[in-house]
Structure 1
């Protein structure tokens, strides 16, 4: 068996355990969005109650903003699960790093780090770039009240990504997945 097919077998076996990456991504996204939502609620409850529904042209109505926010988290969690289980990305996560700090990190910790980077990427793309275009095109104007590049938004997305990575790593079966893969394998 070639090294490439061995890697694919390990990646597939390790991430398709009893829960699987779909459930791990959805669960991680929901829990991450809930953690982010709590931060939003502490900083400015109006964002969840009114601003998020306004992005879709909806009136502020109790839990609607929370439900939309959690749905966003689930969709992004599924995207994260799909992304980190692809051979190229998972191969990079498994690669034995040449630095002492990274070489001691197991696959679970690397998935948490990938979640952190994913949260940062989501922040840079969705609220900073897509949201202003979306609200301008739809005429909803809800983004004007949202701290797009504010520290609250950045912190919330980093918390979301970190919690997503943590829950994903805990939910999927990582037994048998090691970080002993070398560059070029």
Structure 2
């Protein structure tokens, strides 16, 4: 296939519900799962620390709302990235190993979500958040367990749930007659 659009269409990425909705839905559900994990380990992160990075008072469900909104945005970013020709080609390629060649496209999307969660953990709380907090001059940084195991587990949970929901919510079957995932 010669274009990104052809590749996406051949693998059903332009389905009725589409990647933006699959990404947003997966991001919201993944963020809710991550939020529940945070709530178990340290509820103050949701109720006080997240609102404070935007200058909001810790009132009601503001932290939950911001957290879910973050998940939706990141889910749409995931949907966009995983449907681009470079990443879609890597996810759908037919590898030379028996184990990987027998792995379904849906499981590969879930694995991509797991890797995305790991990347988000490495980039946002470890690099971007400290810079942001220093820029706005807030003391909320001490309340974030950025390098903590809970943060890593939460981001991996987010990415995995995002991948599962994304893989389920859009049609990932190869529609080309001679494609590797036909039949």
Same fold (TM over 0.5): yes
1:15 alignment partner, SS class: coil
- Say if 1:56 and 1:100 are closer, same or farther in 2 by CA, change over 3 A: same
**What stretches of structure 2 of length at least 5 have no aligned partner?**
none
What is the CA RMSD across the aligned residues, in angstroms?
A: 1.7
- Say if 1:104 and 1:7 are closer, same or farther in 2 by CA, change over 3 A: farther
Alignment of 1:77-92 (within 5 A): 77-92=75-90
The offset of 1:12, in angstroms, is 2.1
Cα deviation, 1:55-93, whole Å, max 9, x if unaligned, reads 111111110000000000000000000000001110111
**What stretches of structure 1 of length at least 5 have no aligned partner?**
none
1:96·1:180 contact (CA, 8 Å) conserved in 2?
A: yes
Return the TM-score normalized by structure 2. 0.92
The offset of 1:176, in angstroms, is 2.6
Return the TM-score normalized by structure 1. 0.91
The partner residue of 2:44 within 33, 43, 46 is 46
Alignment of 1:39-78 (within 5 A): 39-78=37-76
- Name the structure 2 match of 1:180: 180
The offset of 1:156, in angstroms, is 0.1
Structure-2 separation of matches of 1:79 and 1:174: 18
Q: Say yes or no: does 1:166 pair with 2:164.
A: yes
Give the total of aligned pairs: 178
